[in-house]
A and B are shown apart, each in its own frame.
Chain A
Amino acid sequence: MAEPAASPVVIIGSGLAGYTAAREFRKLDKQTPLVIVSRDHAGFYSKPMLTNAIAGRKTAVTLVMKSAMKMAEELRAAVLARTEVRQVDTAAQTVQFASRESLAYRDLVLALGADPIRLPLEGDGAADVLSVNDLDDYARFAERLEGVSQVAILGGGLIGCEFANDLLARGITPTVIDPAAGPLSRLLPPAAGEWLRQRLEAAGARFCFGVTATRIDLSARGYALGLVDGGRLEAGLVLSAIGLRPRTGIAREAGLAVHRGIVTDRRLATSAAHVYALGDCAEVEGHTLPYVMPIMQQARALAATLAGTPTAVNYPAMPVVVKTPACPTVVCPPPLDAAGAWSVQAFDDALEARFHAADGVLLGFALMGGATTQRQALAAQVPGLLV
């Protein structure tokens, strides 16, 4: 490396991507100084656990597995909590903070995460709609749930369905609103979506498909939602779970190539030397995959690269576990542009959907109920995404 050895590896972001990259790096390199910059408390928690925290009787406090201090000790790193990054200068290899102080880096890792997408909504209750994208959001959500018996959830995708199922554990009735014809419409064939819907409904969830909410007004019971078809709905709380948009602001301002996410090659290298990206903010060879398993693959490859062995990330088939205990579900979606067809076998207690290409190759699958035990066997048959 051309830079003085004293310059640290700097990771911006203390979510699963940032901390996993740090942990994997430390397994390989115990010497190089390491700095982790976080705009929040920098305690280690697992974001996927936010959608089943109620059933797991977790609070915003107990979700934190390790404090920033403990992480700093374990990783032998400096952890800068509540520190906002103002800009990155890729030519000078420095990060400047909002405080105007700056820090030189040997290598910079962007693990910025993603922002929730918000729909434009009218009405005097629109500003009260919550998204739960991090631990601070969760704390607010938990506080606002006190005394609430009905929650409207905008979006019937992965996060919307997981929250719906989790709220049932507390006796709260969720109503999921989505313009698609069924839940998880981007991941599941319609017959599998219907199977999931039936089981979530049997457990107490309600669904309004084929519509969107257009306005949210304050009402005596909390909020009145106006739907695009003229329908109305009352709820004590409105949760938005429409989807995620990679956080790219810092990268864009630093002149890095940005498309949907921060563009990287298979080594997680961005368009600027010594700058890498991983996790929900990164677009790796055209793929933005906001799931846990890709982060684990990325973190290991990046750690090896940072430790001196340039390593490309591999994406094997990566099934996604949907945390809906009312209907255990694992889905390995086929690539978006894949040609082929779904075949679905449904039984009373299990559903198995397979997506085959014309030549017979298995490109994706969805398993529900008792069929989820087939996960490993089927995943082994699906070609990897990046191999």
Chain B
Amino acid sequence: MKSYQCIVRGFVYDESLGLPAEGIARGTRWADIPGDWECPDCGVAKADFEMVEI
């Protein structure tokens, strides 16, 4: 499981946690999130997230 961080607001998507409030189940891999998904905090595109080490 990996995490990805929004380059603008620092919002972190953690694959192991998912985003249940947005209908993204726990364990959803980053690669499986739709390309038009945006950062819920600021609207940054999925492409502008960067992988972060935990």
Contact = CB atoms under 8 A, between A and B. Distances in A.
Interface residues of B, number: 15
Given A27-B47, A65-B7, A376 B22 contact: yes
Given A296-B38, A373-B21, A376-B21, A46 B43 contact: no
Interface in A349-378: 373, 375-376
A293 B42 contact: yes
Contacts of A376: 21-22, 40
Interface in A46-90: 46, 48-49, 56, 65
Nearest to A316: B43
A23 interface: yes
Contacts of A321: 9, 41-42
A48 B43 contact: no
Contacts of A300: 45
A293 B43 contact: yes
B10 A46 contact: yes
Interface residues of A, number: 19
B28 to A, nearest CB: 16
Contact of B42 (A27, A56, A65, A292): A292
Q: Which 6 A-B pairs have the closest CB atoms?
A: A296-B43, A293-B43, A292-B42, A373-B21, A46-B8, A321-B41
Interface of A: 16, 20, 23, 27, 46, 48-49, 56, 65, 292-293, 296-297, 300, 318, 321, 373, 375-376
23 contacts: A16-B8, A23-B48, A46-B7, A48-B42, A49-B9, A49-B10, A65-B7, A292-B9, A292-B41, A292-B42, A292-B43, A293-B43, A296-B42, A296-B43, A296-B44, A297-B43, A318-B43, A321-B41, A373-B21, A375-B40, A376-B21, A376-B22, A376-B40
Interface of B: 7-10, 21-22, 38, 40-45, 47-48
